[in-house]
Amino acid sequence: MWCLGVILTAAVSGQQAGVPLTLPPWTAGTLDLHHIVTGRGNSTFVVFPDATTMLVDAGAVVSAPLHADPLPDGSRSPGAWIVDYVRQFHPTPARPHLDYAVVTHFHADHFGEVTAGSRTNGAGVALSGITEVLDSLGAGVVVDRAWPSYDYPSDLRADAAVDNYRRFLADAVARTGLRVERVRVGSASQFRVNRDPRWPDVGVRPVAANGEIWTGTGEATEQTFPPLAALAHADHPDENMCSIGLRLHYGRFDYFTGGDLPGDPEGAPAWQGVETRLGAVLGPTDVHQVNHHGSIDPATPGFLAALRSRVLIVPAWAPTHPSPDVLKRLLNTRYYAGPRDVFTLALREPMTHAIGARVRQLAAPHGHVVVRVAPGGAAYSVYVLDYTSPARRVTAMFGPYASR
Ligand SMILES: [Zn+2]
């Protein structure tokens, strides 16, 4: 499997020669975006130019489907592998604390699955995914879409994993002074990531959550989901639609990540196509993480044409990621002209057969994908790191790309 990856990456023209053995250490002024592979869900570790750190999601599917082996292996839980990764690349490895942790939405592949076999902490709370990571590393602020009521679009507390997560937060708030906040869509100040006066032009803005979408003007937002009382129960928003979307910028560089936001669910009411509304607000975006693992409905032509991304990262972990038609859309130059490099984090073998020859158009099908933005934000490079061993050697390097 890994040999296949090496052959495929070597075929891509944008790949650089003279690849370093390991990722050069982060230095002040650099923005790093690490898309971590565990084979069991999403997790992105961000180091801002001022050394502020943020983790977006910490998935940990335990009852995984066939052909979704844990990566690099099952000797540790997904949460423990995320902790190990963060310790390796944290700007202060001796104290690998997280300033911010974001849970985009409450699905196991984004915040963790709780089972009867889950390890527990002293407060009797199960440690899986985000709770395991927070228990190990600690965090300053946790941001999610539902604090403190957890009641939209239904009573989330009835879900065992959400209930466990809430109990973890309540204990940590009381015991460690953790802060928890509901995401403030449109806010340019919820995340303070520009504390170094040498690098002031960097920020994070939540652009979507629970149907509330930033308008693109100031901090104004619009509620795009109808009131629940006006909807048939079958048309209520689902968990994916409520995902938090984040836009990061650094100088001219723009990045988007949006959990499992849907594209245009077939036959569904138009308001459920969150991407359509969001594309117009986001506009040109250098790098984006493809929504919902590239699974069936995201990456609509309109969304791709609005973002015109040079680099697209598909957080593939299950054998259904990305669907062949989504990959075809990502590569389609009719939606927007020009070259683009598409990375998948862990392309499972069954999907390579379903995709067929187009798989050779991937920049790299396997590896942790690190986007490293140079001081000031004018240029960036992409490093692919080996996920088969904890050494995490660099296997390929792409760029530098000019930010637009
Ligand atoms: Zn997901």
* Alpha-helical regions (H) of 333-398: 349-355
**CATH number of the domain encompassing residue 16:** 3.60.15.10
| pLDDT, tens digit, 9 for 90 and up, residues 331-364 | 999 999 999 999 999 999 999 999 999 999 999 9
Domain that holds residue 333: 2-402
What integer best gives the mean pLDDT of the chain?
94
Per-residue pLDDT, averaged over 220-237, amounts to 96
Cα 152 to middle of ligand 1, angstroms: 19
Q: Which amino acid is at 258?
A: G
| pLDDT, tens digit, 9 for 90 and up, residues 88-130 | 999 999 999 999 999 999 999 999 999 999 999 999 999 999 9
Interatomic CA distance for residues 207 and 185, integer angstroms? 5
Cα 15 to middle of ligand 1, angstroms: 29
Cα 294 to middle of ligand 1, angstroms: 10
How much of the chain exceeds pLDDT 70, in percent?
96
In this prediction, residue 267 carries a pLDDT of: 84
Q: What is the pTM of this model?
A: 0.95
Residue 136 near residue 170 (C-beta atoms within 8 A): no
In this prediction, residue 102 carries a pLDDT of: 99
Cα 210 to middle of ligand 1, angstroms: 16
How much of the chain exceeds pLDDT 90, in percent?
92
Cα 353 to middle of ligand 1, angstroms: 22
Q: Is the pLDDT of residue 74 over 70?
A: yes
Cα 323 to middle of ligand 1, angstroms: 14
Which residues, including other chains, have CB under 8 Å from residue 283's CB and lie 6 or more apart?
A: 216, 306, 307
Q: What is the DSSP letter of 40?
A: S
Phi first, then psi: give them for residue 8, nearest 5 degrees: -70, -40
Cα 174 to middle of ligand 1, angstroms: 30
Residue 378 near residue 402 (C-beta atoms within 8 A): yes
Cα 378 to middle of ligand 1, angstroms: 31
Cα 376 to middle of ligand 1, angstroms: 32
Q: Is the pLDDT of residue 6 over 50?
A: no
Q: Is the pLDDT of residue 3 over 50?
A: no
Cα 242 to middle of ligand 1, angstroms: 12
With cut-offs at 50, 70 and 90, classify the pLDDT of residue 87: very high
Q: Is the pLDDT of residue 72 over 80?
A: yes
In this prediction, residue 11 carries a pLDDT of: 37
Cα 59 to middle of ligand 1, angstroms: 8
Per-residue pLDDT, averaged over 199-224, amounts to 98
Residue 57 near residue 43 (C-beta atoms within 8 A): yes
Phi first, then psi: give them for residue 193, nearest 5 degrees: -125, 15
Q: Which long-range contacts (CB under 8 A, 24 or more apart) does 325-329 make?
A: 325/296, 326/290, 326/294, 326/295, 326/296, 326/298, 326/299, 327/294, 327/355, 327/358, 327/362, 328/358, 329/299, 329/300, 329/301, 329/304
Q: Is the pLDDT of residue 9 over 50?
A: no
With cut-offs at 50, 70 and 90, classify the pLDDT of residue 18: confident
Interatomic CA distance for residues 219 and 185, integer angstroms? 8
In this prediction, residue 264 carries a pLDDT of: 84
Beta partners for 310? none
Which residues, including other chains, have CB under 8 Å from residue 256's CB and lie 6 or more apart?
A: 207, 245, 246, 247, 248, 282, 285, 287, 288, 289, 307
Q: Is the pLDDT of residue 231 over 90?
A: yes
Per-residue pLDDT, averaged over 215-225, amounts to 97
| pLDDT, tens digit, 9 for 90 and up, residues 282-341 | 999 999 999 999 998 899 999 999 999 999 999 999 999 999 999 999 999 999 999 999
Which residues, including other chains, have CB under 8 Å from residue 338's CB and lie 6 or more apart?
A: 308, 310
Cα 293 to middle of ligand 1, angstroms: 6
Q: Which amino acid is at 274?
A: V
- Count CA atoms closer than 13 A to 112's CA, side-chain side: 30
Residue 329 near residue 335 (C-beta atoms within 8 A): yes
Q: Range with the lowest mean pLDDT among 143-147, 171-175, 266-270?
A: 266-270
Residue 20 token pair: 């370093």
Q: Is the pLDDT of residue 7 over 50?
A: no
Taking alpha carbons only, the member of 85, 94, 29, 20 closest to residue 58 is: 85
- The secondary structure of 214-237 as a DSSP string is E-SSTT-EEE-SPPGGGS-GGGS-
Domain count, the chain: 1
Residue 60 token pair: 């940990």
Cα 315 to middle of ligand 1, angstroms: 9
Cα 284 to middle of ligand 1, angstroms: 24
Cα 110 to middle of ligand 1, angstroms: 6
Interatomic CA distance for residues 404 and 285, integer angstroms? 8
Cα 109 to middle of ligand 1, angstroms: 5
Residue 214 token pair: 């930033």
Cα 304 to middle of ligand 1, angstroms: 20
Residue 345 near residue 314 (C-beta atoms within 8 A): yes
Q: How far is CA 275 from CA 130, 257, 281, in A?
A: 26, 12, 10
Per-residue pLDDT, averaged over 169-178, amounts to 96
Q: Which amino acid is at 136?
A: S
